[in-house]
């Protein structure tokens, strides 16, 4: 590559980084100033296509033989981490028909401290993902957090580093939080439903969710958050036991075992679909207001 091509490539990269950064700096005169215009229509992941009026989304069939193929998932960390890498679509999605256990049930009554609980389960092999993971990814943040953000499962970078939401999507999440004066680790806790990475970032299987969700339930019982935010369609569908699309779930408060829960896009999805940054900003403002109200502020 000659010098002029290198300069052009560097300039393009810098412009893109500046655009992404600009959106999450709190706008002085309204978010519209910082939202990029809608991008030319490309095929969206199926879960983010607009709901036809009155349409009811039918539950999808569970994958045959327990093998969920690869596809580009809304809100997920793509294969190879949150690098924007795409992967084949079209595989059936798991159906999350897991019964909700009693609200007060404590799946691990022996533990009253979140660090001790992490140590107790960090070698878990209750499902096959325990054999294929590199690192167990428990969660990170303030053990007294009022706000808990929950994704679906670790991606490649998370699996490598043992921490949720790292890489580009994690940086964007930090920018989103900073836009409303929140910070990872300060009143905020971040984790996933599954603590181990599904191979090639496929969707979690119902059997994996069934085995791993008690860990999340215990985490939440120890954290006692005032608000939960589900990041991405799959996390929201699992937590709410629904097959609704993300657009139907966002914009309102739900209930997860007695804790208010709201739904928004996964930051990895925003990296690939900047047109979703505007609705995400609306969700983030709602998140902040709900949190402030819950804190009595």
**Whole-angstrom distance, CA of residue 48 vs CA of residue 74:** 7
Residue 126 found at the interface with ligand SF4 (CB under 6 A)? yes
Residue with smaller CB distance to ligand SF4, 212 or 284? 212
Residue with smaller CB distance to ligand SF4, 138 or 276? 138
Residue with smaller CB distance to ligand SF4, 219 or 237? 219
**Whole-angstrom distance, CA of residue 151 vs CA of residue 193:** 6
What is the DSSP pairing of strand 140-141 with strand 147-151? unpaired
Chain centroid to CA 204 = 13
**Whole-angstrom distance, CA of residue 294 vs CA of residue 112:** 24
Residue with smaller CB distance to ligand SF4, 92 or 214? 214
Stretch that binds ligand SF4, among 60-68, 122-130, 236-244, 248-256 (CB under 6 A): 122-130
Residue 220 found at the interface with ligand SF4 (CB under 6 A)? no
User: Which residues, including other chains, have CB under 8 Å from residue 285's CB and lie 6 or more apart?
Assistant: 180
Q: How far is the CB of 60 from ligand SF4 (least distance, A)?
A: 22
CB atoms within 10 A of CB 158: 27
User: Which residues, including other chains, have CB under 8 Å from residue 160's CB and lie 6 or more apart?
Assistant: 81, 134, 135
Q: How far is the CB of 160 from ligand SF4 (least distance, A)?
A: 16
Q: How far is the CB of 125 from ligand SF4 (least distance, A)?
A: 5
**Whole-angstrom distance, CA of residue 206 vs CA of residue 208:** 5
Q: How far is the CB of 273 from ligand SF4 (least distance, A)?
A: 28
Residues 264, 248, 40, CA angle at the centre, nearest 5°?
A: 70
Count of residues engaged in binding ligand SF4, rule: CB under 6 A = 13
Q: Are 155 and 78 a contacting pair, CB within 8 Å?
A: yes
Residue with smaller CB distance to ligand SF4, 126 or 171? 126
31: alpha, beta or left? (left if phi > 0; alpha if psi -120 to 50): alpha
Q: How far is the CB of 199 from ligand SF4 (least distance, A)?
A: 12
Residue 124 found at the interface with ligand SF4 (CB under 6 A)? yes
**Whole-angstrom distance, CA of residue 253 vs CA of residue 30:** 24
Q: According to CB under 6 A, which one of 23, 196, 222, 284 is a site residue for ligand SF4?
A: 196
DSSP letter at 201 equals G
Residue 191 found at the interface with ligand SF4 (CB under 6 A)? no
Residue with smaller CB distance to ligand SF4, 216 or 230? 216
Q: Interaction with ligand SF4 in 25-84: which residues (CB under 6 A)?
A: none
Residue 235 found at the interface with ligand SF4 (CB under 6 A)? no
Stretch that binds ligand SF4, among 64-72, 206-214, 224-232, 281-289 (CB under 6 A): 206-214
Binding pattern to ligand SF4, positions 127-166, x when CB under 6 A? x-xx------------------------------------
Q: Are 93 and 201 a contacting pair, CB within 8 Å?
A: no
Q: To which H or E segment does residue 19 belong?
A: helix 3-23
Q: How far is the CB of 121 from ligand SF4 (least distance, A)?
A: 6
Structure tokens belonging to residue 140: 């990170």
Residues that bind ligand SF4 (CB under 6 A): 124-127, 129-130, 194-196, 208, 211-212, 215
């Amino acid at each position: 590559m000659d010098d002029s091509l290198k300069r052009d490539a560097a300039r393009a990269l810098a412009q893109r980084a500046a655009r992404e950064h600009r959106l999450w700096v709190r706008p002085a005169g309204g978010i519209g100033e910082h939202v990029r215009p809608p991008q030319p229509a490309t095929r969206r992941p199926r879960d983010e296509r607009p709901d036809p009026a009155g349409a009811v989304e039918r539950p999808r069939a569970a994958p045959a033989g327990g093998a969920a193929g690869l596809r580009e998932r809304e809100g997920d960390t793509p294969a190879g981490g949150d690098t924007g890498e795409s992967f084949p679509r079209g595989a059936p999605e798991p159906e999350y028909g897991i019964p909700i256990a009693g609200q007060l049930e404590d799946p691990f009554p022996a533990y009253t401290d979140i660090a001790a609980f992490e140590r107790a389960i960090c070698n878990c092999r209750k499902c096959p993902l325990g054999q294929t993971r590199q690192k167990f990814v428990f969660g990170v943040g303030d053990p007294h957090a009022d706000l808990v953000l929950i994704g679906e499962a670790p991606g490649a970078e998370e699996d490598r580093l043992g921490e949720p939401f790292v890489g580009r999507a994690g940086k964007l999440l930090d920018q989103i939080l900073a836009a409303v004066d929140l910070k990872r680790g300060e009143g905020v806790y971040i984790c996933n439903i599954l603590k181990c990475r599904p191979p090639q970032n496929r969707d979690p299987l119902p059997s994996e969710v069934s085995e791993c969700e008690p860990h999340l339930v215990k985490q939440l019982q120890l954290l006692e958050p005032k608000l939960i935010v589900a990041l991405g369609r799959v996390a929201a569908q699992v937590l709410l036991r629904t097959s609704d699309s993300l657009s139907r779930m966002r914009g309102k408060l739900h209930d997860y075992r007695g804790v208010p829960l709201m739904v928004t896009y996964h930051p990895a999805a925003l990296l690939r679909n900047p047109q979703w940054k505007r609705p995400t900003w609306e969700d983030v403002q709602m998140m902040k207001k709900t949190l402030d109200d819950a804190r009595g502020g």
